[in-house]
Structure 1
């Protein structure tokens, strides 16, 4: 079994190319992850990255065409609880897909539950093509803008359990590990 199936390379390259071209046109530079040169924390051993893995997604309205969604991502942790990253996943219809994003988290959401946090990421996905192109809004050539809110529970300084809301279609459950 290959770690990353060959089918993921085309959507991954398409997302990266689209973001690079968009960032260059919009900002006039190649800085896709502002603050990437600054550590997220002044502590020398503080985690700089976060990996996410989701083994399960629940669709609100099951469909015979739906397949189980698996996702992996890596995020760069930035100052002020910001992050940017890249995810590879198979979408609900089994198509290899990718998501490039930036985001922000709010740790200690409630004083009575300091380990609960909220976050939101926004970016662009690629992968809903062919007969499934209308399954996501604003899809142009397989590219579609996305906003993903999440809520999580910090198990330790390095590990969390997280639930991500995938629009009106589904909720994704996963875990993160900081390193």
Structure 2
């Protein structure tokens, strides 16, 4: 019985990711009016392959069990800012973990030059054994993820960014936007 529930959960998550990826592949369309203003430059082509490296994560509640988190991630970003990608990292407990996601990138919110923000939503795998309860809704290592970030463009292709990891901490990253 528990194995059947796990299988249904995994299939459900995989279907959700597949639908999100299909939505990203759909042709771009006009944004609804209520979203205008979050991105002050709608005419800018955001197409890129984003590479992300994170050497440090600040934990809000440090623990002797915590280890430094190292992350390497990549995402394909469409011209309109929609993106899909994945990341491999060692979680706070030294366990290898992966995150597959879809999301969106917004430039110059509120007219702030060189600033951007993103959000991603997807599925994590890697919090297992003694640490399975460290992330919510964990079923045999699989759990949902949501990560908002704020970034600052040092150059048109190089940025620094901070990811908000729920109530756990902040992840600091260097991001490179490679030409599509």
Common fold: TM-score over 0.5: yes
- Number of residue-to-residue matches in the alignment: 155
1:34-93 deviation per Cα after TM superposition (whole angstroms, max 9, x unaligned): 344879x997xx853110000000000110000000001010011321111010000000
Moved over 3 A (4+): 17-21, 33-39
Matches for 1:38-49 after TM superposition, within 5 Å: 48-49=48-49
TM-score by length of 1: 0.77
| Cα pair distance change 1:175/1:18, threshold 3 Å | farther
- Structure 1: where are the runs of 5+ without partners? 1-16
Q: How does 1:1-179 map to 2 (within 5 A)?
A: 21-23=14-16, 27=19, 32=21, 34-36=23-25, 48-111=48-111, 113-179=112-178
How far apart in 2 are the matches of 1:162 and 1:33?
28
| TM-score between the two structures when normalised by the length of structure 2 | 0.77
- Cα root mean square deviation, aligned: 2.5
1:118-174 deviations in whole A, cap 9, x for unaligned?
111110100000010000000011001011011010111111100000010010000
| Structure 2 match to 1:14 | none
User: Which stretches in structure 2 are left out of the alignment for 5+ residues?
Assistant: 1-9, 29-42
